[in-house]
């Protein structure tokens, strides 16, 4: 049997597949780990603004601005004045719609407190609105 001696100019007649197999198995392991996690993924895309126009009559807007001030129909009021105004509105117009808006920099707790104020005034149904809805 003659022994083959490899020179620098000779061509390779075999391909080393070990790195390819390593890569294939690594990708297989990654996909096996991530695929079950896709079942429990949560869709976090924001909803589209497709609501109807806000009716002008029989609605009142209360808002919380950047500085933490409450506004009732575009007038700055204290929390006590806001509660008193909402209670008067509830007596005069029990079917009024209360719309709550807050600045995006305010904490969730501040918005909940604003909604509690409307609830304490006797309104059972309080709606949250976005800035886009206010500007329409």
Domain that holds residue 127: 59-135
Overall number of domains in the chain: 1
Place of tokens 């949250």: 128
Q: Which CATH number fits the domain that encloses residue 69?
A: 3.30.420.270
Helix axes 108-120, 79-92, angle to 10 degrees: 40
In a domain, 101, yes or no: yes
**Interval 94-131: pLDDT, tens:** 888 888 888 888 888 888 888 888 888 888 878 888 66
In a domain, 2, yes or no: no
In a domain, 9, yes or no: no
Half-sphere exposure of 60 (CA within 13 A, CB side): 22
**Interval 56-81: pLDDT, tens:** 777 888 888 888 899 987 889 998 99
In a domain, 34, yes or no: no
């Amino acid at each position: 049997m003659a022994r083959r001696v490899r020179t620098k100019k000779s061509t390779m007649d075999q391909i080393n597949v070990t790195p390819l197999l390593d890569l294939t198995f690594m990708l297989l392991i990654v996909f096996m780990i991530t695929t079950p996690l896709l079942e429990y993924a949560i869709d976090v895309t924001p909803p589209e603004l497709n609501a109807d126009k806000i009716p002008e009559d029989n609605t009142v807007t209360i808002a919380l601005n950047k500085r933490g001030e409450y506004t009732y129909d575009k007038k700055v009021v204290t929390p006590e004045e806001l509660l008193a105004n909402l209670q008067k509105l509830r007596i005069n117009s029990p079917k009024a719609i209360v719309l709550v808006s807050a600045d995006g920099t305010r904490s969730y707790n501040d918005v909940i407190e604003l909604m509690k104020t409307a609830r304490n005034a006797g309104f059972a149904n309080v709606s949250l609105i976005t800035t886009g809805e206010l500007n329409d």
